[in-house]
Amino acid sequence: MLRLKLTFSCMMDLSKFPLDSQVCTMEVASFSKTIEELSLEWKTMNPVIMGKGLRMPQFEIVKIAASDCQESFQIGNYSCLVAEFHLSRSVGFHLVQSYLPTILIVVISWVSFWMDVDSVPGRTTLGVTTLLAVSSQSSGIQSGLPQVSYVKAIDVWMGTCTAFVFCALLEFTFVNYMWRKQPVEVFDKKKSPEAVNGKAVDQSPEEPDSAVAVTVKKCARADDSMLGCEPRTTHNMCAGSETLPKNKIRARRIDELSRFCFPLTFAVFNLFYWSYYLS
């Protein structure tokens, strides 16, 4: 009769961490007696009994498989027993500490798409803050993991979230550049006068040589001739003469497209990520 209390180590494959499942083995073999002298066999009923209330903080024991084995050496064959512990990692801790915070950080970075293009300090602060937050979150997760040479599932997740936040910051940089870009216009005083509101304008030396002054005159005449109309109609006629340059229209268009492209791309990534690593 012999009672042993042993601590075993388990070599784990962390390529799917923290959505992984591990198989840890325990082997019991004869040391000095060959199979002709000693044969080890498991009990038929309940060969491995777990202690009552035994739990692991990060794993759940799915099943325990008991089997026989045989080791061969130069001096003979030896009987051995193998117990395989199938472990499944609990994802609840990592959902709360890793996945949900990074999802919220990525979603917060999209708020800049609904902010005005002129609000440079606000959008810049939001982009830099979210980028630093996701980088700090990634560093905190990596500090508690063993250093392995292959890519883990959490590395793919954190890298993609960092890329989304960084792309949102780059999008604002490009939109701000498009918004502030001055359109190239060539003015020629020798050209014939252009038509304003469908009518030719005669420019005399006494009148100011400016399209803005002509537009203001036309709007003033519209106010005088449409006194009986509603103020809303007159306001629309005057405002219609002011149009945004093409570069500013494109900048706003990019913001509008980003409001749908970024969430859609992130949703597609989540679909492939969870379906691959949970399979």
Strand partners of residue 247: none
- Residues 126, 129, 133, CA angle at the centre, nearest 5°? 135
Instruction: Give the domain CATH number at 168.
Output: 1.20.58.390
Q: Is residue 8 part of a domain?
A: no
Q: 166 and 271 in one domain?
A: yes
- In the chain, what percentage of residues exceed pLDDT 70? 78
Q: Note whether residue 207 is domain-resident.
A: no
Q: What is the mean pLDDT of residues 217-234?
A: 44
Query: Worst-scoring range by mean pLDDT, 21-25, 76-80, 107-111?
Result: 76-80
**Same domain for 100 and 136?**
yes
Does 69 share its domain with 128? no
Backbone region of residue 46 per phi and psi (left: phi > 0; alpha: psi in -120 to 50; beta: other values) = left
Query: What are the CA-CA distances from residue 179 to residues 194, 232, 233, 244, 260 (Å)?
Result: 27, 29, 30, 10, 20
Residues 37 and 141 in one domain: no
**Do residues 82 and 126 share a domain?**
no
For 18-27, what is the mean pLDDT?
93
68 with 174, same domain: the answer is no
Average pLDDT of the residues in 196-206? 47
Q: Which has more pLDDT, 225 or 258?
A: 258
Q: Which residue has the higher pLDDT, 129 or 206?
A: 129
pLDDT at 199 over 80: no
Together in a domain, 27 and 59: yes
Instruction: Please tell me the predicted confidence (pLDDT) of residue 277.
Output: 94
Tell me the pTM. Answer: 0.73
- Residue 3 inside a domain? The answer is no
Q: What pLDDT is recorded for position 71?
A: 86
Answer whether residue 166 is part of any domain: yes
Task: Measure the CA–CA gap between 109 and 263, rounded to whole angstroms.
Answer: 11
Q: Which residue has the higher pLDDT, 191 or 82?
A: 82
Number of compact structural domains in the chain: 2
What number of other Cβ atoms are within 10 A of residue 270's Cβ? Answer: 14
Classify residue 64: in a domain, yes or no.
yes
**Quick check: is 176 in a domain?**
yes
- Binning pLDDT at 50, 70 and 90, where does residue 76 land? confident
Which structural domain, as residue segments, surrounds residue 171?
Answer: 93-182+249-278
Residues 80 and 175 in one domain: no
Q: Are residues 25 and 133 in the same domain?
A: no
Residue 20 binned pLDDT confidence (cut-offs 50, 70, 90): very high
